[in-house]
Amino acid sequence: MNRIILSVLIVIFLTSLAMPQKMRDKILKNKGKLEQLEKAKLIEALDLNEENSIRFFSRRSEYKKEVENIEKKSDEIITELENTFNSNDKNIESKQTQLLNEFLKNKEAYETKRSQFINSLNDILTKEQICKFVVFEKKFRDEIRNVILDKKSNSHLKNNNNKN
């Protein structure tokens, strides 16, 4: 019974993660253009001078590399979890539990890195600029997600109209 409940929870959990992975893949295709747009909007939103802009984006670049490694590890864990679904191994539940715990620790590491990065900006940005940065990041991510979802829903509408 516990094994069934654990398996169902893992399936639900992974299903909820599949959509963000697909969105991340789409975003990576246009990563260069997107980063340039984000950078220009950030400079404007934070009203950065040249010196602070260089320092900020240098530190942010280091942070993004670290986060990329964490996300890559998360993707590897998800792939391993998916592979367990087709396994006939008798110890699969313990393997799934181990992988799920790894995944959750990885997410904690991501959040810790994010907190460290934001707290490290005190020597470059004012408190107001840091707050503007946090708000900007959230709104920019939401905007990109909405654009992607709008394109996706529009393509579904076109496909459905073509069938009729």
Q: 74-104: per-residue pLDDT in tens? A: 999 999 999 998 888 888 889 999 999 999 9
Q: How many CB atoms lie within 10 A of CB 74?
A: 19
pLDDT, tens only, 36-75: 888 999 999 999 999 999 999 999 999 999 999 999 999 9
From CA 75, how far away is CA 69, in angstroms rounded? Answer: 10
Confidence (pLDDT) at 100: 95
From CA 124, how far away is CA 17, in angstroms rounded? Answer: 35
Region 103-123: what's the mean pLDDT? 96
From CA 155, how far away is CA 151, in angstroms rounded? Answer: 6
Confidence (pLDDT) at 37: 86
Burial letters 102-129, b for 16+ CB under 10 A, else e: bbeebeebbeeebeebbeebeebbeeeb
Rounded mean pLDDT of the chain?
83
Q: Which of 55, 67, 48 is nearest to 132 (CA)?
A: 48
* pTM for the full predicted model: 0.69
The structural domains of the chain, with segments of one domain joined by +, span: 2-21+36-163
pLDDT, tens only, 16-44: 555 566 666 665 666 777 788 889 999 99
